Amino acid sequence: MRPNIVSEAGLQTRAGQWWDNIPFLTSAVVIVCGVIYLVCLLVGYDSFYEICFLPEALVSHFQVYRIFTSIIFHGSLLHVFFNMFALVPLGSELERIMGSIRLLYMIILLATSNAIFHLIIALVVAHNPIKPYPSLMTECAIGFSGIIFSMIVIETSLSGVQSRSVFGLFNVPAKWYAFILLVLFQLLMSNVSLLGHLCGILSGFAYTYGLFNFLIPGPSFYSAIESSSWLASCVRRPKFILCSGGNPSAYIPTYSGQNSPSSGLFSGNIWRNLSSWMPQRETAAQSIQEDSRFPGRGRTLGAGQNAALNSDSNLQARLLDNSNPNNTSDIAAAGAGQGLSNDRRSPVNNAVAATAGGPVLPQGPIASNEQIDKLVSMGFERTQVEVALAAADGDLNVAVEILMSQQG
């Protein structure tokens, strides 16, 4: 009896849509790690002691290459599968916000800081006078999970949520979310590098608190790389996301509000992420409404809502564009014509008044220095960040969308 052609076609289509929806750098990391593991499996290479992160090798032989080779090699099929399965939602979300080149720079920065934290802690613990543990200096760590833990911290901080769900079973405070995952993985899995994951969490917090700001270049650095000839073939890829937000087809808003749940792998029910792969019969209405950029059920925005969001984003982008001081009257007219809601009209009008030099109306929430520092650490100008937060009524995620639209 022939197999169910409808189910096979549906599964293949959904898998293709899922892969097409993964941005350029995230999909490249998945391919690189997967191919490296496959090649090692085919040739029988298992000398991971030569390429893993080994504190003793860095101290005695200065083998700096281990900082980067250790994150792309994996020890088993489950190891590489679960790491890449966790990377896809986290990396995709951060890449859509930051851009492909900026995310690559962040991964390199996090890999380096993870190694530095790992080396310092191993040296201190191994040579402490009270009870030394020299085994930490010879502990061999490989895998991308350290970077993933850093991304979990950064994405949780950027989302602004107060609590996160662990595998859909229970909620924990957002600030303790990464540490809860650290403990759970240590208890549930064997041969897990506690120090490697802990250093990933420390690097994530250091990044979100702005300790790496002096190492983060400005937008001109990323623009110069994107405009270089040797990267032209990558930039032309449809899944490549420019740091300036110049590829609207690849940009998907991440949040609609401050308390919106994240699309991360570990927040919410894990089976909900798997169910999107399952083939489902579509009605005619669903086929008409489905947008190619938002495959799957429950993710398609209505036509009226799309128009409102696009007009609102255009209005805010024009608001932030201070290159032409004569466009404030046009912005005010556009705001009246679009019919903004009462709670959004006030901050936008205030920002227009501030741009034109007129009186500013009383406003509710004021952006905190912590919110401003988070966006500045992502490479945005401080003045534009303040205006964007004012226009977004203090909503950090909406401000990110405004800034990305303004740069485009």
**Active-site residues: which are they?**
145, 197
What phi-psi label fits residue 39: left (phi over 0), alpha (psi between -120 and 50 degrees) or beta? alpha
- Provide CB contacts within 8 A for 296, sequence distance 6+: 14, 17, 276
What phi-psi label fits residue 62: left (phi over 0), alpha (psi between -120 and 50 degrees) or beta? left
Alpha helices in 301-393 (DSSP H): 303-320, 328-338, 342-356, 369-377, 382-391
Contact 338, 310 (CB under 8 A): no
**Which of 256-277 are b and which e, b meaning 16 or more Cβ less than 10 Å from the residue's Cβ?**
eebeeebbbbbbbebeebeeee
Contact 67, 55 (CB under 8 A): no
Torsion sign, CA atoms 253, 254, 258, 259: positive
Strand pairing partners for 159?
Answer: none
**283 token code pair:** 């009605």
Contact 155, 171 (CB under 8 A): no
Contact 66, 57 (CB under 8 A): yes
How far, in Å, CA of 36 to CA of 23, rounded?
Answer: 20
Q: Residue 122: which H helix or E strand, with range?
A: helix 100-126
Which 8-state DSSP code applies to residue 141? B
**238 token code pair:** 């449809």
Closest CA to 407 of 157, 98, 93, 158: 98
**52 token code pair:** 């893993």
β-strand pairing of 170-173 with 163-166: antiparallel
How far, in Å, CA of 372 to CA of 381, rounded?
Answer: 10
Number of helices (H), then strands (E), belonging to the chain: the values are 19, 2
